[in-house]
Amino acid sequence: MCGLLGLVCAGENDAAKARSAVGKALHCQRHRGPDETDTWASGEVVYGFNRLSIIDVEHSHQPLTWGPPENPQRYTINFNGEIYNYLELRAELAADHGASFGTEGDTEAIVAAYHHLGPAAVGRLRGMFAFLIWDSERKVVFGARDPFGIKPLYYSQGPNGIAFSSEKKSLLELSDTLGVAQELDRTALQHYLVLQYVPEPESLHLGIRRIESGTSFTVSPGGKLVTERYFSPEFNTRAVNGPAEASALHTRIADVMKDSVAKHMRADVTVGAFLSGGIDSTAIAALAKEHNPDLITFTTGFDREGYSEIDVAAESAAAIGVKHVIRSVSADEMMEVLPLIVWYLDDPVADPSLVPLWFIAREARKHVKVVLSGEGSDELFGGYTIYREPLSLAPFEKIPGSVRKLIGKVSGRIPEGTRGKDLLRRGALSLEERYYGNARIFRDDQLRGVLRTFTEGVGHADVTGEWYRTSKNWDPVARMQHVDLFTWLRGDILVKADRVTMANSLELRVPFLDPEVFRVASDIPLDQKITKETTKYALRRALDGIVPAHVLNRRKLGFPVPVRVWLRDEMYDWARGIVNDSKTDELIDKQAVLRLLEEHKAGTLDHSRRIWALLVFMLWHGIFVEHRIKPEVPEPHYPVKL
């Protein structure tokens, strides 16, 4: 787990100057890898690397050069992530191809696999990764990002070359070197205010994009970037064939989760686990304890009833038999640290839960260097409550289209906040129209009054359309899962998980997001995912006996943060101050934002999520556009040497 930076020059370059520029740009992501920093340069390519040493700590330094006996300097790799099946892959490459290695780590396994298997090597990797491999013989860079988008990879291309980075800040630093003008992407801003995050491949800077999850690419000095999707997930749509097949499926799920957690425990440093009150993290912690009897778990929450899973998590920790660390977060702490977190994020993510996650990551780093977490379970196994919506809206599907349109018009005349209004509105829409992820912040009719640059025709279909087209023959729940894999998961869940843990130089691993786990999860029939009573039915049955009974069938809380009540009280003046100080008048109608805040304070309507999204954007704009807000970024420092 580290931070990489790579510059592929378009033509003749001053090698010393280019290396200096990369070294300077690398510094702003030093938190991703404070253990070692190094740069490397050839005539056409410059690499920079910040290492967080996890596997083969004394060796496996990067950038790493490897090659076959006839050309041992042929390849140089820059790699961020972990490959959990690296031991098996190294053994296979040695046995089948005679590959030899100079380290005990996973980095060499990637480059050796590429040499012997070509681009197909990415399909053999079980892990999280973003990497660049420079082939000095063919004069080409080959790279890839993991199937689910656990590890980030931004890029920026200009007349002087193309650069890749784990964090966007480094590419902003290289804008002059690349010859790229960085302007605000107003389409991406509109998407953000609808979705709560900036969807891939966009960023809020027009000159910076992202390599998408499950994608590999090649680029030569002075050439165009060529991408290819190597991972296209598919979900099964058949029904389960009797109790025996259901039981076998549950066994397969349990077995593959045990295997995934075992491989995710591979490290030469201490591994802990995040623990909430839900089934996902509890299962991970219970399975991890089998490999580390001294496992430490970490929980965060709030001292406000209905907004915390601290008590349930503590009960789970006691039932599993692990040491447990708790960190409560106050409104004052959230307000104080939010600008710094927005700096770490690179692009705004209006998910309040990332703030307490930042605090528990900071706490965990005092004890361990790696944590396991439960991200990805809901998308793979059908865990979100909204996945049950097709069941509740099924009666609308029997109504003629003309009548449904009339119902939609009627719902529009019902006052906001009236019970049943949203049910009628959503029932009048098709799945493609109504579902675009777990977060739905502004509707178009709401956004027109706030966003001065609102553009008709820009909407969620720009983001979800491709994924609905590729899943048109699937059942509605599988289609929702498919959309979430390419939107909500990689846009919100994994962004916040990566940024706030890496901000504290803590490696986060997600055993649910493993290719072998997906292979099993994608074969789960609809009736084994969603029932009228519960979600993740098959997973719950598979984990019976692994997860404590008080958690096994518990309703998903979803880690709520009390910003709804805080914005009416503790955070009210703070929020007004952010709005008034912001220089976003050209983009945002600030008076409209203040009206939202006043209505929310009065309790007329709940605008908390919309207000929070606007506040996070205004802070982002103050940092990255106005340069008015300058968070004090601490140098990486840890009380415990690990």
Q: Two tokens at 547?
A: 């997860």
Q: Where are the domains of the chain?
A: 2-229, 242-383+494-552, 386-449+470-485
Q: 340-363 pLDDT, tens per residue?
A: 999 999 999 999 999 999 999 999
**Bridge-partner residues for 274, per DSSP?**
298
Across residues 484-489, what is the average pLDDT?
A: 97
The answer to whether residue 9 is catalytic is: no
Q: Which two tokens stand for residue 502?
A: 């890496």
Catalytic residue among 2, 55, 493, 506: 2
Q: What is the C-alpha radius of gyration for the chain, rounded to an integer number of angstroms?
A: 24
- Written as one string, the DSSP assignment of 421-488 is HHHHHHHTS-HHHH-S-S-----HHHHTTTBTT--TT-STHHHHHHHHHTTTTS-HHHHHHHHHHHTH
Question: What pLDDT, in 10s, does the model give residues 571-586?
Answer: 999 999 999 999 999 9
User: What is the token pair recorded at 412?
Assistant: 């529009």
If you search the block for the tokens 């999280």, which residue do you land on? Answer: 128
pLDDT score recorded for residue 639:
59
294-327: pLDDT as tens digits: 999 999 988 777 777 888 889 999 999 999 999 9
Query: Could you read off the pLDDT of 82-103 as tens digits, one per residue?
Result: 999 999 999 999 999 999 999 9
At 624 the pLDDT is 97
Can you say whether the dihedral through the CA atoms of 111, 117, 121, 125 is positive or negative? negative
Q: Averaged over 527-550, what is the pLDDT?
A: 93
Residue 40 in tokens: 């490397």
pLDDT band at 210 (very low <50, low <70, confident <90, very high): very high
| Segment 391-429, tens digit of pLDDT | 888 888 778 877 887 887 888 888 877 888 878 888 888
The pTM (predicted TM-score) of the whole model is 0.95
CATH superfamily of 2-229: Aminohydrolase, N-terminal nucleophile (Ntn) domain (3.60.20.10)
Three-state secondary structure call for residue 25: helix
Q: What is the pLDDT of residues 450-468, one digit of tens each?
A: 999 999 999 999 999 999 9
Chain length of the chain: 642
pLDDT above 60: residue 548? yes
Q: How far separated are the first and last CA of the chain, in Å rounded?
A: 14
The answer to whether 458 and 352 are in contact (CB under 8 A) is: no
Sign of the CA dihedral running 331, 509, 51, 162:
negative
How far, in Å, CA of 632 to CA of 641, rounded?
Answer: 24
Sheet with 45-51: strands ordered across: 36-41, 45-51, 2-9, 161-165, 154-158, 209-210
Tokens of 390: 């097709």
Binding residues: 106, 373-374
- Per-residue pLDDT band for 501 (boundaries 50, 70, 90) equals very high
Say yes or no to pLDDT of 470 above 70. Answer: yes
- Report helix, strand or coil for 128: strand
Binding-site entries for L-glutamine: 106
CATH architecture of structural domain 242-383+494-552: 3-Layer(aba) Sandwich (3.40)
Q: Is the bond preceding 199 in cis, omega lying within 30 degrees of 0?
A: no
CA gap 530, 475 in Å, rounded: 12
Binding-site sequence positions for ATP: 373-374
Identify the weakest region by mean pLDDT among 123-137, 173-187, 232-246, 323-337.
232-246
